[in-house]
């Protein structure tokens, strides 16, 4: 076997190759990053569709049921910022401590803070309870962050990179993490089959993402969400009083938005435990009003109307022909600071 030819020297003579003399660094000069770290990034939002997109250009993940947050890791601090831009660092101490151990100087991770049930499925109600309910101040020590994107990494703003490259860096950072910060795994395969499997396992749905897409703040269709069971946020506008029901609440009266108006979309009488009902009754009785805050055609007997302030997350199967929720179930109260968007109906033609 022939030997490889010897490489030619860099210089014609035998003098050693030397670089020019470098001046010592001025200690007063700051260590500037390549890109300035944004104080906050508006999240990329998923577009709701009835079927997942299919093809080699798409990747799939579980749709986590929790609070969307951005984890900012900086040289002197760690911050947890909600989708609405509020600082919830104090409410997720476990995630903050795990972030300090990642071994990265600067980074912004996009993900979902969740609490899992005994079967390893995200449970929004448990997350709310761990935080002390809506407006609570308790820390969710057992919450964990499932990270699904990396926006800033070691001095570089990488939002313009394609998703597959950002995911590679994220996996490099979190490959061995099994604590309070974990990676949201990508699932390869047919989008339809993955969606069916997610529904069969009692999950909320899946997210499909364009592998070649940059990270764009807003809702552009680069990310698509497909839900097994519909789950949206609705305004509570009152409750139906009942002597036999827990906490005296027979059902909650719900409304969606249409432009600047509220529209009644039905009621929900299942899903809340006694503790939830007592808490809701106490909060709603502070918001009572004599007249309904919207147009209501039914009987107002036993209905206690309330100022439209509280936002509830509601699961439902479908809509009835007259625009009411079918088989609705209460999941919990949404935090205003989570930027919970009340469901918007199509505008009138």
Known catalytic residue at 227: no
User: Token pair for residue 270?
Assistant: 């299942």
* DSSP-based three-state secondary structure for 322: coil
Q: Alpha carbon of 290 to those of 64, 154, 266, 267, 298: distances in Å?
A: 39, 57, 20, 19, 16
Instruction: Find out whether 210 and 166 touch, Cβ atoms under 8 Å.
Output: no
Report how far residue 284's alpha carbon sits from residue 253's, in angstroms, rounded to the nearest whole number: 11
Closest CA to 260 of 202, 148, 152, 347: 347
DSSP designation for 256: E
What is the distance between the alpha carbons of residues 216 and 330, in angstroms, rounded to a whole number? 32
Alpha-carbon distance of 340 to 86, in angstroms, equals: 12
The answer to whether residues 326 and 270 touch, using CB atoms and an 8 Å cutoff, is: no
The sheet with strand 223-227 has its strands ordered as 47-48, 223-227, 205-210, 58-62
The values of phi and psi at residue 84, to 5°, are: -85, 0
Catalytic residue (one of 51, 63, 227, 282): 63
d(Cα 229, Cα 231) in Å, to the nearest integer? Answer: 6
- The alpha carbon dihedral of 63, 64, 65, 69 has a sign of negative
What is the gyration radius of the CA atoms in the chain, in angstroms?
A: 26
75-78 long-range contacts (CB < 8 A, ≥24 apart) are 75/105, 75/106
What count of other Cβ atoms lies within 10 Å of the Cβ of residue 171? 14
Distance (Å, rounded) from C-alpha 191 to C-alpha 54?
Answer: 5
Q: Which residues are catalytic?
A: 63
């Amino acid at each position: 076997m022939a030997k490889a030819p010897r490489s030619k020297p860099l210089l014609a003579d035998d003098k050693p190759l030397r670089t020019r003399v470098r001046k010592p660094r001025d200690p007063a000069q700051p260590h500037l990053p390549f890109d300035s770290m944004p104080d906050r990034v508006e999240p990329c939002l998923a577009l709701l569709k009835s079927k997942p997109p299919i093809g080699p250009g798409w990747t799939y993940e579980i749709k986590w049921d929790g609070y969307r947050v951005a984890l900012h890791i900086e040289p002197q601090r760690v911050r947890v910022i909600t989708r609405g831009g509020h600082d919830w660092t104090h409410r997720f101490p476990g995630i903050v401590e795990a972030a300090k151990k990642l071994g990265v100087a600067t980074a912004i991770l996009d993900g979902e803070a969740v609490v899992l049930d005994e079967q390893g499925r995200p449970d929004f109600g448990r997350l709310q309870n761990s935080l002390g309910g809506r407006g609570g101040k308790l820390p969710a020590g057992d919450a964990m962050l499932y990270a699904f994107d990396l926006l800033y990494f070691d001095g570089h703003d990488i939002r313009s990179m394609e998703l597959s490259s950002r995911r590679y860096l994220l996996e490099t950072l979190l490959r061995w993490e099994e604590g309070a910060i974990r990676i949201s795994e990508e699932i390869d395969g047919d989008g339809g089959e993955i969606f069916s499997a997610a529904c069969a396992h009692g999950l909320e749905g899946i997210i499909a993402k364009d592998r070649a897409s940059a990270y764009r703040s807003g809702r552009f269709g680069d990310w698509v969400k497909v839900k097994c069971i519909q789950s949206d946020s609705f305004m509570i506008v009152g409750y139906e009083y009942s002597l036999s029901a827990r906490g005296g609440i027979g059902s909650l009266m719900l409304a969606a938005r249409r432009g600047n108006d509220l529209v009644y979309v039905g009621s929900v009488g299942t899903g809340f435990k006694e503790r939830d009902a007592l808490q809701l009754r106490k909060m709603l009785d502070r918001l009572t009003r004599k007249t309904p805050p919207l147009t209501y055609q039914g009987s107002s007997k036993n209905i206690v109307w309330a100022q439209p302030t509280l936002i509830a997350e509601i699961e439902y199967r479908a809509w009835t022909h007259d625009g009411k929720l079918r088989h609705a179930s209460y999941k919990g109260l949404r935090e205003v600071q989570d930027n919970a968007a009340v469901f918007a109906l199509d505008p009138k033609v």
